[in-house]
Structure 1
């Protein structure tokens, strides 16, 4: 439902922000600061007690274990994270909807039930979990960055399947996080909530579209978050904020009932996945959800139980150093080389690999996302009279050029045919690596940049998402893992002759000093429905980096 606003959109947006901010208790407010790196402020500002700092520094699996053992109360854990999330909000603008009061009441009920029965609520017993804004939660809005979707709270029966599943797993839901308008921009900003910055360097982006999640999680304002990905929307923000994450193939984790900026666009399926400061946290979430048998709740899910996978002692990874369109900036190239060196040092093989025609994937993605001629987004924008955000300018141009002759269904069928043919070629290309690995197998996984950036300066992503979107086209499983941080003393810009206008714009803008301290992360890609394998191989890579 799209409500027709009775006030100017600017007034509606301000009222939403004011209402959110009023939900943060005055005793949790902190002084403003000009600091760029604000990662340490939650533990030093005095809002959290020493015990609360200790609680919020623990990883998700440890928190669950301690609550089940009776060493921590769910109420105390939830209160600590509500306070830390409030601090994160003040420093990065990461939250949209706040429901701390309901969360604390739920946490108290879980404690009372556990004291009475001795039975944990579920595999995420008592764990605070944050949700990306597009999941419907009873009693709050789901704006997805559109002013027209403000002040339209969801009834209980409309809650997203993922929301219900998190409750069934025993999680305590306590807030939702910011996204770009329509969730179709690789940075997080919109006319309702504003811009979400990166807590490692507030001159930088937190990525998009799950950028509110990434900023909140990086500040340990939540131990575990749920994002979505249709072209890189989990992996880009996770990489910008130094997080582990999992982009699964479609069919493993329920997606039914989530709100979309492009409803009905199913040629590239949006997926849900976990984001966390620990790989163990992402695996805990994934295993917990699958063990709840989502195929009985969402008609699009596949009946694949959680699998324990074994991998060879000696692995061979493909390494994408450059996709041929936009060369990664120096910190990302350094991270690739450091990862290669670390893996080789523990006996694995790493072979440089050129992915199959990423320019074709990029074209197919853009044709799908604008396949309705920009009509849906135009409708939601015009319903409030708000202006188009800069990152949606291509959708605006598409709509204005095609509104007199919108695309036909046959055009969509043509693109879908092109997609399937492309996926076949990518598969054949991957399988052909068997000839060079020396293991008798194709690449066990591919390691790649997530984007050309470490974390880009605000409003400087400049569109290119082919490093991630080609794996959405093919529906392959992927993770992210942190490697390093930007250091101007070793990440200066070399002389480089760019190959096209997009690459020139990105490289001309690059300045290591401007993004000092920004996380540098990579992604690991496996084939379709290989989530368990992707997590296991990521653990091997992370251990190699730790030992380097």
Structure 2
């Protein structure tokens, strides 16, 4: 049982932030700026040399190729990304634990070993990789936003399996990134580290729960990052910051040993997945992790090697323009229309389609996430005496309402039964699309909003995650891909009569000037365990958008 600290939680938080900030060398510090769009600051601030700028603006597969050919050293590449990550931190507050000194030592050792043997360590040989805060790394904290979990550095034997796999693949781990408290809010803020903003518009959110990763990667402070997703936590931040990402089905990428804000909640499985500005980097990571045969180290993994898939020349996509609960704001609707037009110009068919009862999925998700009556989160909050973050107010209310009569195991069983029945109906609904595709197949993939927003203003997300969470319940594979940026001259607010209070809140708040410049992204969904297909289809979409 963790002891309640005698130090006030505010002081613990202040000390943690000060210790982190002290690890940024003076030469890497930049003047403060009032600019909202800071995406170009790492390139112009003077901290990085021209060579380091070139390194950090090269995608991960190319960097690995240059490292293996001896055209770059891991030390130089790691140093460049440490500098850029330090700049990104000062601009967006994206980092939690800084590992720069250890990373540079490890990179130097990789170079020396490579000089001696001529054999690369693995498919990520010498490449810096960032990790979301919930992965245990020896010697540093894994707070997941809880003050009570500060100042408890992990021992080596505690390291997450993904941490070990990254090292064995040759990656250099150089930082961890911010998350919301318990990883259960769609914006990244907590009482330990504070709020992470969006580098394209710092009045906006970077998303959650992998929002530290998304901000860091958008600023190219890392070439490749690892996030987690249980209701949209990879896809929402990736969409807000214009990234490619992959949310796999459970069983492909090792999850054992990662810290959770809801430990034991396994009715909806949390998964690990890659995030990057490069689709090729996402695929490199996926192949590398599966190539490490995670089924021999994580009892929940499936023995499915990476598969090469062929896709038909002419494809048919389903297109979700509106889930019937919250209509997307104008930038997202524009992105959907532009993607449809681009795919049709490339010779593919796109059919507007309504998903199967997303409101039912939304209800099931909430029943699972609050299935313990809010007890776990309440316990961790109470350990330090910290206040509840605003985004966890529903958990607080549920705990206070049910603490005298918490839910029973039978309630969980009922919800699981409802989930399975729902998944069957979603499957049947998808398969029935064969009647409209004109290919003789059901939809090859579904294209959908990730959220109703491009990127929402700070503290304005609300709780609508139905666009993403329905694919967590069904355990389907999904990616994200960038489309455009918000343009106030195009993405005008139009009159709209809301169908419910959640939609009213979203549309009343929408102001294109407030989210100007924010990335607009979409998601592509395939069925279970179709990660390889999802990436292939995403490449088709990305190429179509590029040539449109």
Equivalent position of 1:114 in the other structure: 114
| Equivalent position of 2:501 in the other structure | 501
Aligned positions of 1:51-450 closer than 5 A: 51-450=51-450
CA distance in 2, matches of 1:116, 1:3: 49
Are 1:532 and 2:526 counterparts? Answer: no
Which consecutive unaligned segments of at least 5 residues does structure 2 have? none
In 2, the alpha carbon distance for the partners of 1:6 and 1:280 equals 49
Per the TM alignment, residue 531 of structure 1 is displaced from its structure 2 partner at its CA by: 0.0
Q: Check conservation: 1:3, 1:152, Cα contact below 8 A.
A: no
Deviation at 1:472, TM superposition (A): 0.1
Tell me the distance in 2 between the aligned counterparts of 1:163 and 1:34: 36
For residues 33-82 of structure 1, the C-alpha deviation after alignment (integer angstroms, 9 at most, x for no partner) is 00000010001000000100000000000000000000000000000000
C-alpha distance after superposition, 1:84-120 (max 9, x if no partner): 0000000000000001100000000000000000000
Q: Provide the aligned length of Structure 1 versus Structure 2.
A: 548
CA drift at 1:395: 0.1
In structure 1, distance between residues paired with 2:518 and 2:359? 28
1:263-308 deviation line (CA, Å, top 9, x unaligned): 0000000000000001000000000000110000100000000000
SS in 1 for 2:422: helix
Distance 1:41 1:10 in 2: 31
Match in the other structure for 2:467: 467
Offset of residue 2 of structure 1: 3.3
Note the C-alpha offset of 1:167: 0.2
Q: Distance in 2 between matches of 1:11 and 1:506?
A: 36
For each residue in 1:5-40, what CA deviation from the matched residue of structure 2 results, as whole angstroms up to 9, or x when unmatched?
A: 120000000000000000000110000000000010
SS in 2 for 1:290: helix
- Counterpart CA distance in 1 for 2:492 and 2:507 is 12
Report deviation, 1:3: 4.3
User: Matched residue of 1:340: which SS?
Assistant: helix
Q: Does the residue aligned with 2:157 lie in a helix, a strand or coil?
A: helix
The CA distance in 1 between the partners of 2:536 and 2:486, in whole Å, is: 27
* Counterpart position of 1:542: 542
In structure 1, stretches of 5+ residues that fail to align are: none
Mapped to 2, the partners of 1:279 and 1:536 lie a distance apart of 10
Structure 2 distance, partners of 1:4, 1:225, is: 33
Inter-partner Cα distance in structure 2 for 1:4 and 1:250: 35
Q: 2:419 & 2:26 partners in 1: Cα distance?
A: 53
SS state at 1:529 partner: coil
Contact 1:2 1:380 in 2 (8 A): no
Query: Any runs of at least 4 consecutive aligned residues in structure 1 with deviations exceeding 4 A, and if so which?
Result: none
- Alpha-carbon distance in structure 1 between the residues aligned to 2:3 and 2:467: 37
Q: 2:116 and 2:28 mapped to 1: Cα distance?
A: 33
| Distance in 2 between residues matched to 1:274 and 1:407, nearest whole Å | 35
What is the rounded CA distance, in whole Å, between the counterparts of 1:235 and 1:305 in structure 2?
24
1:223-259 Cα shifts (integer Å, max 9, x gaps): 0000000000000000000000000000000000000
Distance in structure 2 (CA, Å) of the matches to 1:539 and 1:360: 32
In 2, Cα distance between the equivalents of 1:22 and 1:3?
27
* Whole-Å separation in 2 of the counterparts to 1:492 and 1:215: 26
Q: Is the 8 A contact 1:96 1:175 kept in 2?
A: yes
Alpha-carbon distance, 1:4 to partner:
2.2
SS in 2 for 1:124: coil
Structure 2 CA distance, aligned partners of 1:94 and 1:56? 17
Instruction: Give SS of 1:228's match.
Output: strand
| Distance (Å, rounded) in 1 between the aligned partners of 2:3 and 2:303 | 38
Question: TM-score w.r.t. structure 1 length?
Answer: 1.00
Q: Distance in 1 between matches of 2:2 and 2:482?
A: 39
Instruction: Tell me the equivalent position of 2:456.
Output: 456
Q: CA deviation at 1:462?
A: 1.1
CA distance in 2: counterparts of 1:115 and 1:382, whole angstroms: 52
Q: Secondary structure at the match of 1:446?
A: strand
Measure, in 1, the Cα distance between the counterparts of 2:24 and 2:4. 29
The corresponding residue for 1:11 is 11
SS in 2 for 1:442: coil
**SS of match in other structure, 1:6:** coil
Q: What is the alpha-carbon distance in structure 2 between the residues aligned to residue 93 and residue 198 of structure 1?
A: 10
User: Counterparts of 1:316 and 1:57 in 2: how far apart (Å)?
Assistant: 34
Q: Secondary structure at the match of 2:494?
A: coil
| Distance in 1 of aligned mates of 2:439 and 2:520 | 30
How far has the Cα of 1:447 moved from its partner?
0.1
